[in-house]
Amino acid sequence: MIVCDLCGQARECLQKEIEGREFDICASCWRPLEEKLTGKGRVKRKREMVVIPPSVPEPEEVKTPPGSPPKIFGGAARAN
């Protein structure tokens, strides 16, 4: 015997899942609820696999090889 979540009576209950939650509902409570909900609700959608494209790595900065002088990049000042 399990206590019904709807009426609170200790009866033989069935576990029902509604919106991701489990409830213990006896047959006398379930029948009117089932009749009330008939024809309502949403159609279960089929789960589809979604493929996410791999991320593109950002290009690395050009580094000077060891042993050579460093390259200095900058804006040139204009003379008037």
Q: How does the average pLDDT of the chain come out, rounded? A: 81
User: For residue 14, what are the domain limits?
Assistant: 2-37
Domain count, the chain: 1
What are the CA-CA distances from residue 30 to residues 10, 33, 34 (Å)? 15, 5, 6
- pLDDT reading at 7 higher than 70: yes
Show the tokens assigned to 3: 């206590």
* 58 confidence band (pLDDT: 50, 70, 90): confident
Domain presence at residue 21: yes
Q: Where are the beta strands (DSSP E) in the chain?
A: 2-3, 10-11, 13-18, 21-26
- pLDDT reading at 76 higher than 70: no
User: What are the backbone dihedrals phi and psi of residue 10, each rounded to the nearest 5 degrees, phi first?
Assistant: -80, 105
